[in-house]
Amino acid sequence: MSGILYLQIDDNILIRQPHICLQDIARLSCSEPEILHRVRVIPVTTLDPVKPGRYVMSVMDLVDLIQKKEPELKIVPIGQPDFILTYDTGKQPNPLWRFLKVTVVCLISFFGGAFSIMTFNNDVDIGTLFSQIYTQVTGHVSSGFTILEFSYSVGLGVGILFFFNHFGKKKLTCDPTPMQVQMRLYEDNVNTAIREDAGRFHQE
């Protein structure tokens, strides 16, 4: 008895256990339930339990494993030819260490952003510009603390909130935030680099 097996693999798969079967990393669909049941439990690999990390595998390796068990089965792979197994033991870091890291990142982001805004304002000499505008409009010399400076400061904060589309745990709209977009682009670039490095290693 033969059938068609559709094999879909995601680009990057998070796993929590070292003993991996096909059903742990792939989405399977087959017209023959008995074959599907046998294929799902095919062992794929066993990782070192104490060495979490990222491992590159090829879909063709999975096809070879399946064909050894089911020679008459037609296999249709869907997705990338190579994929990444991200093995995470699930061990939580020390709460104090995690708190310190979050605090340091927040401080760096806050003071780094403040420094960038201040240097930009100095580069364009926005203080002098506001002073000139205030003098021309009102006929009085600006004290440096006028409605222009106040509006600019408030507008800058509100603009940042709208741009990042995020305030605390709430999002202003249902769209992904710019940070989420950049993180997804970063993840895609990391996955591509890992696959290409693995391929280069095999060629050497």
Provide the whole-model pTM: 0.62
The pLDDT tens digits for 34-86 are 888 999 999 998 888 888 888 888 899 899 999 988 888 898 998 888 888 88
Amino acid at 142: S
Nearest to 39 by CA among 74, 13, 89: 74
The pLDDT tens digits for 89-135 are 877 778 888 889 989 988 998 898 888 888 888 887 888 888 888 88
E strand or H helix at 13: strand 12-15
Residue 26 and residue 36: Cα distance in Å, rounded?
12
Q: Measure CA 6 to chain center.
A: 27
Nearest to 190 by CA among 6, 11, 4: 11
The pLDDT tens digits for 147-198 are 888 888 888 888 877 777 776 667 777 777 777 888 888 888 888 888 877 7
